Amino acid sequence: MDKKLIGVDLGGTTIKFAILTQDGEVQQKWSIKTDILDEGSHIVPDIIESINHHLDLYEMKPEQFIGIGMGTPGTVDVEKGTVIGAYNLNWKTLQNVKDEVEKGTGIAFALDNDANVAALGEQWKGAGENAANVAFITLGTGVGGGIIADGKLLHGMGAAGEVGHVNVEPGGYLCTCGNRGCLETYASATGVVRVARDMAEEFAGKSALKDSVDNGDDVTSKMVFDLAKEDDVLAVKVVDRVCRYLGLACANISSILHPEYIVIGGGVSAAGNFLLEQVAKYFKQYAFPTIRNTTKIKLARLGNDAGVIGAASLALKFKD
Amino acid sequence: MDKKLIGVDLGGTTIKFAILTQDGEVQQKWSIKTDILDEGSHIVPDIIESINHHLDLYEMKPEQFIGIGMGTPGTVDVEKGTVIGAYNLNWKTLQNVKDEVEKGTGIAFALDNDANVAALGEQWKGAGENAANVAFITLGTGVGGGIIADGKLLHGMGAAGEVGHVNVEPGGYLCTCGNRGCLETYASATGVVRVARDMAEEFAGKSALKDSVDNGDDVTSKMVFDLAKEDDVLAVKVVDRVCRYLGLACANISSILHPEYIVIGGGVSAAGNFLLEQVAKYFKQYAFPTIRNTTKIKLARLGNDAGVIGAASLALKFKD
């Protein structure tokens, strides 16, 4: 009775862990550094050791857990519990994560990619308010996402929820994927800076942002949003353009999925309501009436905890 | 044992019926005219009477059926089995279709909207080859669609699959929904003609299509595609533009859902491989590599039967 969940959020620099109730309440949290040496071969043993160590510490036994869920970078085979191509972990070859963790801990293990797991976290315990239909967009170094439809993560043939590669400007900026005009090239942290540099070049007026670009300062996405909040003319234009693309992507995602909420998270979303209101304005412009009046755009609420919480929710499937 | 399904495809001019095996094999087909007089109040009684009459004719009993599934225009409440706002049926007020049909036939009844039901038909027995993840786009008077993810229709909050309102040209043609640039305004039968008229105006060269437009002929979507197949310079440009928008929409749908197939049906798709190849070309240009290499664009196979077949599949949920 009253068994617990373990959530693991595996990242390129840190591995976060949490023990949660079945209702998603975090009871314990800890983290370790990610050791990516030797082709990342220490990562899974470190995870196993850290879990076992903390179970000892809290005087808990494997039988007291429903399961472990984990979010990971790379390409995940959800059925088999394997990962391949997680380059920031030095995982180039196939990793049998599920088999190893289950063997090493004696606890059932489930796996999904990091963006999907963050989406689950926000849907379950964050801005998604446990609604059955939620789309999640994370604006970080890249733009990722995850989609929950009828209460379940969508995988399609594996790459569903790749909202960063929704094309918002055919023929636009070149993306790392090889295409031009992906949302990621405009709305990621680096994308925002790219738009700023590009628009600064053609901008003639007075602007602190333009001065920074021209001076060769280390311009950041945060700087662009901060200056826009202070009515810097160029920064306002940059934010407007970024939010227009985000609003368009949200509208098109919604025409396809009709979610209750689109939740926006990640570093760029730290700009808060200032970002949200402008995205929502364009969303309402581009979405057709039924969608416009029912789907709501919200900011993510869980911050860095979305990963462990969503990961833990993966383990709920082992519940009897 | 070996119980049957009934599929009903309710349209503004005809109501189509079929009796199918559980494997989706059509064993009997018939149809009646849709009587939309008196606020469409004869429609449901006519459906009940026609089903009961044909069961008598074939000497079959209600117990020999798993259920009846129906596709309908208008806004459907799938849970309650009601329809509202089906203007081509004169159904302006709420219609308790499920309750009436179940009472009138003694057979369990399920309902969904016509585009969703056609999507199910193509996914189950048509070009979708019973794959778990299929998106369906129908290019008719308007542009509609339906999405099957993990083997189930997506509804979201009710309007999921409205691919006709995916925005492919912000600020573009005005749509009946009030927005500008919806796919429907370019890729429906009327959209194709609109693009043709628009491009004819700015076209200076020699073109039979331009001559037709200038002469005030009754230009159709079929005419545009037929002329393009004959290398009419303007018609080729029009088709190219329509297919570019379709390819963009398919790429964006795929980045979100990663389906195995995108199936294109409806009247405009009668242009066949000529259409398909050009849509696929742009799809490959706009889709990111994982999608480009795995999702396939196909033509619908079932034609007018998609509706009754997909409708019948709705009734499979009553199986035990």
**Predicted pLDDT of residue B209:** 98
CB contact under 8 A, B179 and A150: no
Asked if residue A1 has pLDDT above 70, the reply is no
Of all residues in chain B, what percent carry a pLDDT higher than 90?
97
CB contact under 8 A, A163 and B294: no
| Per-residue pLDDT tens over the stretch A205-242 | 999 999 999 999 999 999 999 999 999 999 999 999 99
Contact yes or no for A114/A71 (Cβ under 8 A): yes
Contacts of A258 in chain B (CB under 8 A): 155-160, 162
Asked if residue B1 has pLDDT above 70, the reply is no
What's the rounded mean pLDDT across residues A121-132? Answer: 98
Distance from CA of A18 to the nearest CA of B (A): 30
Count the neighbouring beta carbons within 10 Å of the beta carbon of residue B229: 14
**Predicted pLDDT of residue B226:** 98
Confidence of residue B85 (pLDDT cuts 50, 70, 90): confident
Cα distance between residue B154 and residue B147, in whole Å: 6
Contacts of A251 in chain B (CB under 8 A): 167
Q: Which residue of A has its CA nearest to B295?
A: A157
Asked if residue A293 has pLDDT above 90, the reply is yes
Of how many residues is chain A composed? Answer: 320
Count the neighbouring beta carbons within 10 Å of the beta carbon of residue B50: 16
Distance from CA of A32 to the nearest CA of B (A): 33
What's the rounded mean pLDDT across residues A294-315? Answer: 97
Looking at domain A131-299, its CATH class is alpha beta
Contacts of B182 in chain A (CB under 8 A): 288
Q: How many CB pairs under 8 A join A and B?
A: 141
CB contact under 8 A, A154 and B257: yes
Q: What is the ipTM of this complex?
A: 0.94
Q: Which residue of B has its CA nearest to A75?
A: B290
Residues 6+ apart with CB under 8 A from B270: B222, B225
Sheet with B109-113: list strands edge to edge.
B26-33, B14-20, B4-10, B65-72, B109-113
The pairing of beta strand B134-139 with beta strand B143-149: antiparallel
Q: What is the C-alpha R_g of chain A?
A: 21
CB contact under 8 A, B159 and A289: no
What's the rounded mean pLDDT across residues A149-162? Answer: 96
Q: For the structural domain made of B131-301, what CATH number should be given?
A: 3.30.420.40
Which string of b and e fits A257-291 if b means at least 16 CB within 10 Å?
Answer: bbbbbbbbbbebbebeeebbebbbebbbbbbbebb
Q: Could you tell me which of A194, A141, A179, A202 has the C-alpha nearest to residue A12? A: A141
Residue with token string 């755009």:
A297
Contacts of A177 in chain B (CB under 8 A): 288-289
What's the rounded mean pLDDT across residues B296-305? Answer: 97
- Cα-based distances in Å from B149 to A115, A160, A255, B123, B126: 19, 10, 15, 10, 16
- Cα-based distances in Å from B280 to A161, A211, B14, B187, B246: 21, 45, 33, 15, 9
CB contact under 8 A, B258 and A159: yes
Asked if residue B87 has pLDDT above 90, the reply is no
Average pLDDT score, chain A: 96
CATH 3.30.420.40 residue ranges in chain B? 4-120+305-318, 131-301
What's the rounded mean pLDDT across residues A108-132? Answer: 97
User: Which A residues, 260 through 279, put their C-beta within 8 Å of a C-beta on chain B?
Assistant: 260
Average pLDDT score, chain B: 96
State whether residue A159 sits within 8 Å of chain B by CB. Answer: yes
DSSP A175: P
Contact yes or no for A147/B256 (Cβ under 8 A): yes
The pairing of beta strand B109-113 with beta strand B65-72: parallel
Lowest mean pLDDT among A81-85, B65-69, B117-121: A81-85
State whether residue A173 sits within 8 Å of chain B by CB. Answer: no
Question: Which candidate from A150, A157, A286 shows the least CB-CB separation from B294?
Answer: A157
Tell which of B123, B174, B288, B317 to mutate to test the A interface (max A CBs under 10 Å): B288
What's the rounded mean pLDDT across residues A191-214? Answer: 96
Cα distance between residue A201 and residue A223, in whole Å: 17
CATH 3.30.420.40 residue ranges in chain A? 4-120+305-318, 131-299
Q: Which residue of B has its CA nearest to A157?
A: B258
Distance from CA of B290 to the nearest CA of A (A): 7
Asked if residue B127 has pLDDT above 90, the reply is yes
Contacts of A158 in chain B (CB under 8 A): 258, 290, 294
Cα distance between residue B314 and residue B191, in whole Å: 32
As its CATH architecture, domain A4-120+305-318 has 2-Layer Sandwich (3.30)
